[in-house]
Structure 1
Amino acid sequence: MHIFFRQLTVGLGIVLSVGCSMAPGQFMDTKGLEQGTVSGGVSVALKPITPQLILDQEKQRAPIVVPKELLDYKPPSYVIGPSDVLYVTVWDHPELTVPSGTQQQIESNGRLVRPNGEFFFPYIGNIHAAGMTIEGLAAYMTSALAKYIDNPQLDVAVIRYSSSRVYLSGAFKNAAPIELNSKPMTLAEVLGVSGAMASEKNAGSAAGDLSRLKFVRDGKEYLLNIYAINRESDYSSRIYMKAGDTLHLDYDDEKKIYMMGEVKAPVALSFHADTISLTEALATVGGLDQRSAKGESVYVIRGHEGDFDKDSAQIYQLDASSPTGFILANRFRLRPQDVVYVGPTDLGRWNRVVDELLPTLELINLTTTDAIQVKEVDNIYSGGSAGGSR
């Protein structure tokens, strides 16, 4: 039995001596990874995150361009259309102003513009109001009534707007069509009314991706990054809506950063803005695991965006062992589907080996204890037998 324990002890010593090389879990071996290196059939480029790299990436960032035709559009005066409800006031002639009586709701005395664009008014008859401005209709009716009423004083107002709409679809909190009225409405106001700006703050629910707002006008589609527009200008407050405009807001449930390795909380991290910094991503998951993370081994893995044979996957390495590293990380912008991997220290890998071996060591300890106890019992019985024979 002593020989067995000596062999077992030697075996365990060998295992522990090579523990790091056989440690379980992920480990990224970046030795030899340089520009154009092929690993597993994939072309890979390893780049350290440096001040120059940050500057180069910021220069490559495309400037925010809002189509000129959207900025140039200025809405005309409101044009009456089918389904609008008009309220016509003729001073000193209540029988024309409130034909249903003064006790009725104001809309009961309104004049509905029928689908053919007409409505009826006493003395004048059917009036084709669709396509006319409020001022134009008032002038026409004043002239027409002058044949029956001396010096008519007349006013026209729209009490329900229903003919000019902006249509919404997708991730808007309130996707009901928005009625345009005589007060011009901007894109910023539509986003506010529809809940698009607030939806990104609703915890636990998918939000809209305002970095890719689809804006359709007169059959032409525009893709607008509202985050960037609002960050760099007031353009969203200078784009006026037009009847028939359509806005579609995609959900941002595919905008994820994958946090892996030695971080406090490995997770698929969703974000709502158009981009997120490496510092913010690490902070959101609780930072690096101080017990096992290797500060020099923070990697951002960015996959292919094109042909595997022509394009290289990018792996960026950050040295987060010094404050300078976090200054760089704060300006390094992540993209959707990036993988952030933090490698372990040698001690961290060693601790994993120990964790794996602890159950085995406990079993050996239990077996050894039992064997010793059995041997002691054998000695007692052997001694007792010897005493009896004497």
Structure 2
Amino acid sequence: MTFRYKTLITSFVLVTMSGCALVPGSHFEGIESGEQTQNLEKDLDKVNIQIIDASLISQQNQLRKTPKPMSSNAGIDTSHYQYRLGVGDVLTIGVWDHPELTIPAAVQRTAEFDGFRVQEDGTITYAYAPNIPAVGKTVRELHKELVKRLSKVIEDPQVDIKVVGFRSQKTYITGEVTKPGVYPVTEIPLTLIDALNQAGGLSEFADWRTVTFTRGDTTETIQLDKFYAQGDISQNRLLQHGDIVHVNRNDTQKVFVLGDVKKAGTVSLNRYGLNLAEALSDSGGLNENTANANGIFVLRKRDYEQSGILADVYQLHARNIASMVLAEQFELQPHDIVYVTSAPLARWNRVISLLLPSVTSIERVNSIGN
């Protein structure tokens, strides 16, 4: 079966090459047609050909539904998360029963304005407790140190510390989100998904499949669609200071529809995906008089170095209504090429149409000569 379809594709390409050879200047310079044929047949051995049928659709649906195995540390454990202070953070500090140690709140000022800022040298200064190291400490650790120092002048001090200004640590959400910008890291754990939500979610032109995540010198691709569609929590990240989350545009999320259709060109994928029937419909459908309903192919590039396969080729037999149901269930991927071949008679008519002008010219020359 596979050999037959490879032969079919080989024959089709050879007919196409033969037709092209009739057009002056359409051959490859320095390459003989026999060499082209040998190279073509050699490449076809590296192509995986499959028929689009119920079995293939079921197999692809199963792959999409089956959760991918996750590592033991795939989930984000925030139970032990603690915010660590940095330069620029602002604190409010109060001591119970000692109002003289608490700055009274003013009507025109905020708690952040009146608070204690972590200085450039990494310390804060409070009454009876100057130059307390604060950078890198948690609020609990700072509380312990402040109580220790105040105990020298106050019996059993009851101290309350809160961070009212998170200024030292930031993450950056860029690209196609509703509100791109700088978002602070706070005492509440901030994950990549949380950050996207805080940024208003992805915009209309966003690539809903992947986002790029950069930490230091390392950039990785996060499979966002796997998180939402399959619940793959390994795609989430706990953000840290300096992390960058970038949402790309969906300009590259396209498939190419070529061949014997009414409107060849590109069709964009949206957040809900794109199936073969939709791609053909968006291209105006097949040319009823010339297209080969059995010659609808989907070419999908593979990583040759890893798989030894150049491409997967899927063929749809679309001569009956049932086949269009299969086309509606066959999901396309970005950069797929949908190609509709012409019927054999239509291809023959095109070849003849290329020959007729030459034949007519020869007859006219002969008639003049006689």
- TM-score with structure 2 length normalisation? 0.69
In the alignment, what sits opposite 2:197?
A: 192
The structural deviation recorded for 1:246 is 3.9
How many corresponding residue pairs?
A: 317
In the alignment, what sits opposite 1:82?
A: 87
Match 1:137 to one of 142, 149, 162: 142
The structural deviation recorded for 1:100 is 7.9
The structural deviation recorded for 1:267 is 2.5
The structural deviation recorded for 1:169 is 4.8
**Residue 257 (structure 2) pairs with residue 282 (structure 1):** no
For 1:266 and 1:172, how far apart are their aligned partners in 2? 32
The answer on whether the counterparts of 1:86 and 1:156 sit within 8 Å (CA) in structure 2 is yes
The 3 A distance-change label for structure 1 pair 72 and 315 is closer
The structural deviation recorded for 1:234 is 6.0
In the alignment, what sits opposite 1:33?
A: 8
AA partner of residue 202 (structure 2): A
Identity %: 30
The answer on whether the counterparts of 1:226 and 1:236 sit within 8 Å (CA) in structure 2 is no
For 2:97 and 2:232, how far apart are their aligned partners in 1? 48
The 3 A distance-change label for structure 1 pair 306 and 328 is same
The answer on whether the counterparts of 2:91 and 2:161 sit within 8 Å (CA) in structure 1 is yes
Match 1:71 to one of 72, 75, 87: 75
For 1:36 and 1:141, how far apart are their aligned partners in 2? 85
Larger Rg: 1
Match 2:225 to one of 213, 224, 227: 227
For 1:35 and 1:159, how far apart are their aligned partners in 2? 71
Q: 1:147 aligns to what SS in structure 2?
A: coil
Match 1:50 to one of 40, 43, 53: 53
Q: Residues 152-301 of structure 1 correspond to what in structure 2 (within 5 A)?
A: 152-195=157-200, 197-199=201-203, 201-202=204-205, 207-208=206-207, 210-216=208-214, 222-233=220-231, 235=233, 239-273=237-271, 276-288=274-286, 293-301=291-299
The structural deviation recorded for 1:292 is 5.8
CA RMSD of aligned residues (A): 4.0
The structural deviation recorded for 1:83 is 1.4
The answer on whether the counterparts of 2:74 and 2:234 sit within 8 Å (CA) in structure 1 is no
- TM-score with structure 1 length normalisation? 0.66
Match 1:110 to one of 109, 115, 128: 115
The structural deviation recorded for 1:57 is 5.0
The 3 A distance-change label for structure 1 pair 237 and 334 is closer
Q: 2:181 aligns to what SS in structure 1?
A: coil
The 3 A distance-change label for structure 1 pair 93 and 126 is same
For 1:94 and 1:287, how far apart are their aligned partners in 2? 80
For 1:132 and 1:35, how far apart are their aligned partners in 2? 70
In the alignment, what sits opposite 1:386?
A: none
Greater shift, 83-92 or 228-237, is seen at 228-237
